[in-house]
Amino acid sequence: MTRIRHTTVGIIGGGPAGLLLARLLHRSGIDCVVLESRDRAYVEQRQRAGILEQGTVDVLRACGAGERMDREGLVHDGIELRYDRRAHRLDFPALTGGRRVMVYAQTEVVKDLIALQLDDGAPLLFGAQALAVEGADTDRPLVRYTHQGRQQTLTCDYVVGCDGFHGVARQAVPEHARRTYERSYPYSWLGVLADVPPSCDELVYAHSERGFALFSMRTPTVSRLYLQVPNGTDPADWPDDRIWDELDARAAIDAPWKLERGPLTAKAVLPMRSSVTEPMRYGRVLLAGDAAHIVPPTGAKGLNLAVADVTVLARALDRLHRTGSTESLDAYSDTCLRRVWRAEHFSYFMTTTLHTGPDQSPFDTRLQLSQLDRISTSPHAAAELAENYTGLPLK
């Protein structure tokens, strides 16, 4: 038996983008339904990003989701670049007029938003597998999905796809109406979690002839660490001691510094690629987050771009709700894509400047070192990096 429901905004995907959009719409008095294919435990344990831009922090605070973040998150005023056995720190507030970042794991953001949603928000259905989006170019698109063993239909005024690159929302846009731009990188990241306090107070981005390394953290007692590895790497080929030794070698500088070692609790290989699908709207179907774009993690932009998308979209839907004007909604794709392409370029810049390609020549390496030297010695180059890293203002 098919059960038919209707809502103003049907949101596919209960990750940070879908949950934040639902929260923002709820506060504007706009009804919505969130369909999430996985169960709650799975969603709350997915390991993803951990760096929040200033704008992301501001949005979470404004929608009532910032209390635990402000209590447990780690405010960072800069990052450190390591190269050629030297270290250089970028002071974000000094370079950007006061902007900074927050270390607070995406898993924690999701937990906070789920708790708010279940407490006083719009319906959030776990285990609701979206099967198809139909009628994107009509006034009443619908989502076919299964929930609790039954096929159901949700009709909507608008459908928002926050369900990733392979989700059904993206497929609802006909091939002739969309274009996808992609780039794959010839290396991956081996990411690990370690039950050990971070070796540095702030994130360290290390360039070396052995490959890139990133030293990050989740909490004051848990480190998040990454190593550049060849595509197709099996984490089983990297025992703990090998990982620690390689991290130590890639971060070596001619100054006192010690890498804190401890037990590794998780290992995974992350591919590096970029993707942008245009436009981000077709009819009454709108795409947000990974459904529209993917960035390599070097620039810490994935989660923050998703937050920017849904913030712009929530404002546009609020304007429609209050005034009847579709002007902001009609501009949604163009507004977001301007920011998306800047973030793609920044992520590309960070990735190609810091990683060592498999066919890299000594000439290529000297170009990278020259660029890193310029960032270290030019306030203008440093400010450009800092402004992009802390996040361009939402418009």
**pLDDT by residue (tens digit) across 65-89?**
999 999 999 999 999 999 999 999 9
Q: Return the active site residues.
A: 76, 205, 297, 301, 389
Q: Classify 164 in phi/psi space as left (phi over 0), alpha (psi -120 to 50) or beta.
A: left
**One domain for residues 8 and 38:** yes
Mean pLDDT score of the chain: 95
Provide the 8-state DSSP code for 78. Answer: E
Residue 223: give its domain's CATH number: 3.30.9.10
**One domain for residues 206 and 341:** no
Query: What whole-number distance in Å separates Cα of residue 14 and Cα of residue 21?
Result: 10
Residue 135 lies in a domain: yes
What is the domain extent for residue 217?
185-272+356-390
For residue range 322-358, what is the model confidence (pLDDT) as tens digits? 999 999 999 999 999 999 999 999 999 999 999 999 9
Confidence band of 277 (pLDDT split at 50, 70, 90): very high
**One domain for residues 68 and 137:** yes
Mark out the alpha helices in 122-231 (DSSP H runs). 168-171
The structural domain count of the chain equals 2
Residue 211: partners with Cβ closer than 8 Å, 6 or more residues away:
187, 227, 228, 229, 250, 355, 356
pTM (predicted TM-score): 0.95
What is the pLDDT at residue 45?
87
**One domain for residues 28 and 152:** yes
Q: Count of residues for the chain?
A: 395
Residue 169 lies in a domain: yes
Q: What is the CA angle 280-285-289, rounded to 5?
A: 45
Residue 100 lies in a domain: no
What is the pLDDT at residue 395?
66
Query: What count of other Cβ atoms lies within 10 Å of the Cβ of residue 228?
Result: 27
**One domain for residues 66 and 139:** yes
Reported for 119-123, long-range contacts at CB under 8 A and 24+ positions apart, including other chains, are 120/26, 121/22, 121/23, 121/26, 122/7, 122/22, 122/25, 122/26, 122/31, 122/32, 122/33, 122/34, 123/32, 123/33, 123/34
What is the pLDDT at residue 91?
98
Residue 82 lies in a domain: no
Q: Smallest Cα–Cα separation from 209: which of 354, 89, 371?
A: 354
Residue 264: partners with Cβ closer than 8 Å, 6 or more residues away:
192, 193, 194, 240, 243
Confidence band of 3 (pLDDT split at 50, 70, 90): low
Residue 395 lies in a domain: no
Query: What whole-number distance in Å separates Cα of residue 209 and Cα of residue 185?
Result: 17
For residue range 91-114, what is the model confidence (pLDDT) as tens digits? 999 999 999 999 999 999 999 999
Could you give the C-alpha distances from 264 to 204, 218, 232, 260, 283, in angstroms and in order? 19, 13, 21, 12, 47
Position 1 pLDDT exceeds 60: no
What is the pLDDT at residue 394?
77
Contact 68, 112 (CB under 8 A): yes
Contact 100, 58 (CB under 8 A): no
R_g over Cα of the chain? 22
Residue 86 lies in a domain: no
**One domain for residues 260 and 111:** no
Residue 24 lies in a domain: yes
For residue range 202-250, what is the model confidence (pLDDT) as tens digits? 999 999 999 999 999 999 999 999 999 999 999 999 999 999 999 999 9
**One domain for residues 232 and 258:** yes
**One domain for residues 191 and 56:** no
**One domain for residues 201 and 69:** no
What is the pLDDT at residue 4?
58
**One domain for residues 129 and 61:** yes
Backbone angles phi, psi at 183, to 5 degrees: -145, 130
**One domain for residues 111 and 178:** yes
Residue 114: give its domain's CATH number: 3.50.50.60
Q: Which residue has the higher pLDDT, 3 or 63?
A: 63
In single-letter form, the type of residue at position 94 comes to A
Query: What count of other Cβ atoms lies within 10 Å of the Cβ of residue 57?
Result: 24
**One domain for residues 366 and 228:** yes
Tokens of 198: 């971070």
Among residues of the chain, what percentage have pLDDT more than 90? Answer: 95
Q: What is the CA angle 34-38-44, rounded to 5?
A: 90
Confidence band of 288 (pLDDT split at 50, 70, 90): very high
